[in-house]
Structure 1
Amino acid sequence: MGIKFRLTVMNFLQYAIWGAYLTSMGSYLVGVGLASHIGIFYAMQGIVSLFMPAIVGIIADRWVPAQRLLGICHLLAALFMGAAGYYALATGEGVSFGVLFTLYSLSVAFYMPTIALSNSVAYCVLEGSGYDTVKSFPPIRVWGTVGFICSMLVCDAAGFQTTYMQFVQCAVLGLVLGVYAMTLPSCPVSRGGERKSLVEALGLRAFTLFKQRKMALFFIFSMLLGVSLQITNGFANPFITSFRDIPQFASTFGANHANALISLSQVSETLCILLIPFFLKRFGIKNVMLMAMLAWVLRFGLFGLGNPGPGVWMFILSMIVYGVAFDFFNISGSLFVNKETDVAIRSSAQGLFMIMTNGIGATIGTLGAQAVVNRFVYSQTDAEVMVAGWSTSWLIFAGYALVVALVFALVFRYRHDPKTVGDVR
């Protein structure tokens, strides 16, 4: 069996685990009376991302081969997610927030580091087999998104998106990958030589970049835009599913198969990656990131104006623009950091970019979005009033994204030179 195929299987399972619950957990929480806690469940992913990937990375660098540690982390994450599923099964609608959140948090704490760890394993194995990682890894990584989509669709088709079974699906996939990872070629550890401190691994040395006005503005706006990253993951499914309580939408495909509808976002994400080199060369990094910000405005605004009946085209268009919103910001931003920082702190700078976006920004975003949704949606009891509250909430999120985009356009200065764009490919 070829090594590329084996790594493809690894990536497929890596993101299939996440896809089992990431876009549907909110609907389950609504069903068991924990709607007001959706934000903290999703914020936990950002909180653990502030420190767990760095700690696990140090362990992989110094003591435990990366592929073995990948397997251990997945087995532990699966154990706690399976425990969450069993607890939900045993208690039915009497689920306690404290118990479920604790088990879920422990699972996420071990899962989130595996995203970076799986990349490290792929790079190590490809290099050890004589492959060029720049050419060989992207076609392997794209199967991770395929795995995410397939897992979402299985969750939808099996009727798991509003039940505890999504946790069980996640746990089973985690167990499979945990065992499978142990069979991958060994990655060496570095027991001597230069070692990164925890401060370096966390990317804290890169905070010196805040002395440069351009980089300070970039990281601040990265955090402000990072606020948008997890909002639809946490709230899109409960929003679309809520239309089932209104007779005129109760039998529509979208209201009953929200995950299938949302999966179009991941399809768009996969395709939009291919557009980035062209757009960077043609428009420059500032304009590409501005496009991402405006795409977030459309992403939220179309949710606020659409419905799963005659207005379903707005939902579909919202899914399509997601690829631009997510990829043009995350990938282009990462490329900007790579181009504008000294090689000595480049890895730390990338770590800082992740902290500002997926750590601080996404955590603030999900908790802030929860407060808005609690105010306009979950404070109501009538189904139609709740849907109207959802619309108001999405338009508030769109307004926020628009303000960030306008301020970014006015204050961020970056001169585009098409001749040097190759430096950031």
Structure 2
Amino acid sequence: MNIKIRLTLMNFMQFFVWGAWLITIANYWFGTKQWDGAQFGLIFATMGFASLFMPTITGIIADKWINAEKLYGILHVLYAATLFYIPQVETPNQFFWTIFLAMCFYMPTISLSNSISYSTLKSSDLDVVKDFPPIRVWGTIGFIAAMWITNLTGSKASANQFYIAGVAALALGIYAFSLPKCPPSKLIEEKSTITQKFGLDAFKLFANYKMALFFIFSMFLGGALQLTNAYGDVFLDEFKLFPIYAESFVIKYSTIIMSISQVSETLFILAIPFFLKRFGIKRVMVIAMLAWVFRFGFFAYGDPQGNLWMIIFSCIVYGMAFDFFNISGSLFVETSTTPKTRSSAQGLFMMMTNGFGAVLGSVVSGWMIQKYFTKAYTNIQSLADHVKATTTDPHLLKFLEDKGISVSGNGDLSRALDVKDWHNIWLSFTIYALAITILFMIFFKHKHTKAEEKAIEAITH
């Protein structure tokens, strides 16, 4: 089989096994399990925790002791086994540790898949810069395909989403052993310190005021990255509480609606060269931050009928918000560091956004939503008032029935039903993103350098 096709299949499956549950896990947590919302933030924090150390550990192993494709396959098999076990978990604490274990196996495979692709393309005398992007874009397509399959099979609130991901991960793990050999490069020097091996010496960059400021803002913006992944689908799904929206397309196919974000992501990548050449790195960063403001703001005022366009636009601007900051930030790091510290600095950038930032955003948002924006209804009439319905409304009763909640003769619910104030949740995220943007514009003083102009010129050609 053509080597490009083989790598394309690997990249497609790499993100398929993540997309099958990442966007819909909140429906399982809040809808099927009815667990506490404050603890849900910790579930998305597991990705940040795992990203802090696992990619480095597996990178060292692949560099010194074992072929990258074999390690990649082993990790996916272990990831699959963990996914198969998730539906058996009965408590939030056990769920946290199980997802954390799954993330410890999965997160390193993202960087390993890139390493395998680079190594294989180079050994086949192909141009990495030219040939890898068209291969990598199939990863996003795989993520979208997984979201659609989970939604169309009626699995977005059930344990089936983990089985779908598990079967695919097992197949990918087995397939990985057939990939071209990527033997250890043994590039890590024996005399390297533990600090150097883990890339922690990059923290010396904090001694530079501008770099320190950039990394701090990266962390705070990274806190916003997982918010819509964590809560976007369940936000749309909970519109079924309102009878006027209960049978709308958005409710039935909320995951497909959310997949517009990933489609947008692939399209905005094509626009980056134009924006960088016209506006420069700092302004592109600011545009990305403003896009996050609109991402949350449109969600705050959107609904499945009259303001459906806001939900659609929110998904569209996500591509700009995500791509523009990640790529312009990476370019800033690339042009502001020396060759000796460049790789470590890029690792630190990823650590601050996907590690510390993800943990910060996930934990704080979970606590904040549960404490300030969630109300527990114990009486059917109070819930009916909330949704502007009556106890005889068939949509409301069906919703309660789907939740496994029976209504007693006196109108009390058998257990409390949590209802979230999504408007103010998204509004608070909007204010947060706007504050970060304004502070960044004020404190991050930056002018173009010749190195940046050269890097931008290279991208645009």
Normalised to the residue count of structure 2, the TM-score between the two structures is 0.88
The one of 448, 454, 457 equivalent to 1:416 is 448
Shift in Å at residue 38 of structure 1? 1.8
- 3-state SS of paired residue (1:50): helix
Q: Equivalents in 1 of 2:346, 2:66: separation in Å? A: 24
Q: Which residue of 2 aligns with 1:212?
A: 208
Q: Equivalents in 2 of 1:193, 1:20: separation in Å? A: 36
Q: Aligned AA for 2:280?
A: G
Q: Equivalents in 2 of 1:262, 1:222: separation in Å? A: 24
Q: Aligned AA for 1:55?
A: I
The one of 106, 111, 114 equivalent to 1:111 is 106
Count of paired positions: 418
Q: Aligned AA for 1:422?
A: K
Q: Which residue of 2 aligns with 1:236?
A: 232
Q: Equivalents in 2 of 1:180, 1:295: separation in Å? A: 39
1:169-217, Cα deviation, whole Å (9 max, x unpaired): 1101100100001100000213477356542343311111112111111
- 3-state SS of paired residue (1:170): helix
- 3-state SS of paired residue (1:248): coil
Q: Which residue of 1 aligns with 2:250?
A: 254
Q: Percent identity?
A: 47
The one of 127, 132, 138 equivalent to 1:132 is 127
The one of 71, 74, 93 equivalent to 2:73 is 71
Matched, 1:355 2:355: no
1:32-52, Cα deviation, whole Å (9 max, x unpaired): 112412211111000110001
The one of 260, 283, 291 equivalent to 2:279 is 283
Q: Which residue of 1 aligns with 2:310?
A: 314
Q: Which residue of 2 aligns with 1:401?
A: 433
The one of 159, 163, 175 equivalent to 2:158 is 163
- 3-state SS of paired residue (1:379): strand
Q: Equivalents in 1 of 2:170, 2:55: separation in Å? A: 20
Mind listing any 5+ residue stretches in structure 2 that lack a counterpart?
Answer: 378-382, 388-417
Matched, 1:33 2:28: no
Structure-2 change in CA distance of 1:34 and 1:141 (3 Å):
same
Q: Equivalents in 1 of 2:438, 2:105: separation in Å? A: 38
* Preserved CA contact (<8 Å) 1:300 1:395: yes
Shift in Å at residue 23 of structure 1? 0.4
Q: Aligned AA for 2:110?
A: I
Equivalent positions of 1:49-64 (< 5 A) are 49-64=51-66
Q: Equivalents in 1 of 2:53, 2:420: separation in Å? A: 39
1:10-58, Cα deviation, whole Å (9 max, x unpaired): 0000000110001000111002112412211111000110001100110
1:260-280, Cα deviation, whole Å (9 max, x unpaired): 000000000001111111111
Q: Relative to structure 2, which stretch is displaced further, 9-18 or 187-196? A: 187-196
The structure with the largest alpha-carbon Rg is 2
Q: Equivalents in 2 of 1:376, 1:40: separation in Å? A: 17
1:367-386, Cα deviation, whole Å (9 max, x unpaired): 11112211344333337477
- 3-state SS of paired residue (1:247): coil
* Preserved CA contact (<8 Å) 1:244 1:256: no
Matched, 1:3 2:3: yes
Structure-2 change in CA distance of 1:337 and 1:358 (3 Å):
same
Q: Relative to structure 2, which stretch is displaced further, 395-404 or 209-218? A: 209-218
Counting helix residues as a fraction of each chain, which structure ranks higher?
Answer: 1
Q: Which residue of 2 aligns with 1:332?
A: 328
Matched, 1:390 2:422: yes
Mind listing any 5+ residue stretches in structure 1 that lack a counterpart?
Answer: 89-94
Structure-2 change in CA distance of 1:10 and 1:247 (3 Å):
same
Q: Equivalents in 2 of 1:400, 1:201: separation in Å? A: 36
Normalised to the residue count of structure 1, the TM-score between the two structures is 0.95
Q: Equivalents in 2 of 1:59, 1:346: separation in Å? A: 21
Q: Equivalents in 2 of 1:140, 1:158: separation in Å? A: 28
- 3-state SS of paired residue (2:374): coil
1:60-85, Cα deviation, whole Å (9 max, x unpaired): 00001000000000000110111113
Matched, 1:203 2:199: yes
Q: Aligned AA for 1:408?
A: F
* Preserved CA contact (<8 Å) 2:41 2:366: yes
Shift in Å at residue 116 of structure 1? 0.4
- Provide the alpha-carbon RMSD of the alignment: 1.7
* Preserved CA contact (<8 Å) 2:374 2:420: no
Q: Which residue of 2 aligns with 1:91?
A: none
